[in-house]
Amino acid sequence: MKSVLDFQNKKALGEAISMVTSYDTWSARIVGDSAIDCILVGDSASMVMHGYPSTVHADLNMMEAHVRAVAKGAPQKFIIGDIPFLAHRKSRETLMEGVDRLMKAGAHSVKLEGAKGQLDDIAYIVESGIPVMGHLGLTPQSVNQLGGFKVQGKSEDAAQSIMEDAKSLEKAGCFSIVLECIPSALAEEITNTLEIPTIGIGSGPHTSGQVLVLQDLLGMDPSFQPKFVRRYLEGYDLIKEAMNQFDSDVKSKSFPLKKESFV
């Protein structure tokens, strides 16, 4: 996918949108060479790449550096950069400074969590010529208020509130919305109600597309096995095996061979 227009076109054609996260140049190169439609430089970088317990620890410096690295690796893909924790809640100036930095680092759009209290800001970013992706349901930056990483929108009131938020985000100008960890039926209803595409994670099969954290689909953390992740590789074990093989070759002095050495 080359531009924001492709999102709407794909929904109109009934074609699913695939998105993965990437945070660095080497993985972005592989994603760039794959059929995956677009890349999210998510604030999950703070957990996956920096070892923090939540995305609360991501800041603009962190996100800017990751967006820059990904843009170098996958210049041909549409890149969405995450606005980190509180960067959109301090002031309009801080928000726009953050958007500016992510866009100059190579993002083609930004993603903001939540709706209530920031619809004017979202509309302002959109009016400034920058595509905005929304994010509803389990919004990890609010993990402390949500009481943990839990499925959202289970009660009728909560479902209604997420549906209203989705409509407000569309009205504010979002080009797409991530729906994270909400019941399938609610995700389907939102997807059918909105004109813009939804991209689901842990929200069932009826969204307009799906996103997974790259390291999750590659099986890079054997201890993390949520229900909504499908592993396409046992990456942790495979990489460990390769390292052990190198270690063994070094210790047995079977590496390097003559052909791997300079004369």
Three-class DSSP category at 72: helix
What x-and-dash track marks residues 67-86 binding ligand KIV by CB under 6 A? ---------------x----
Among 42, 81, 134, 235, binds ligand KIV (CB under 6 A): 42
Task: Please identify, among the stretches 40-48, 85-93, 117-125, 145-153, the one whose residues bind ligand KIV according to the rule CB under 6 A.
Answer: 40-48
Q: Are 20 and 40 in contact (CB under 8 A)?
A: yes
Q: Which of 156, 180, 241, 260 is catalytic?
A: 180
Three-class DSSP category at 153: coil
Among 17, 20, 21, 85, binds ligand KIV (CB under 6 A): 21
Return the number of the residue (10 or 111) whose C-beta is nearest ligand KIV: 111
Binding to ligand KIV by residue 213, rule CB under 6 A?
Answer: yes
Q: Which of residues 136-195 bind ligand KIV (CB under 6 A)?
A: 178, 180
Pick from 193, 180, 197: nearest CA to 10: 197
Q: Are 248 and 77 in contact (CB under 8 A)?
A: no
SS3 per-residue string spanning 172-237: HCCCEEEEECCCHHHHHHHHHHCCCCEEEECCCCCCCEEEECHHHHCCCCCCCCCCCCCCCCCHHH
Active site residue 180: yes
Among 43, 64, 170, 188, binds ligand KIV (CB under 6 A): 43
Among 39, 63, 99, 211, binds ligand KIV (CB under 6 A): 211
CA distance 104 to 101: 5
The residues annotated as belonging to the active site are: 180
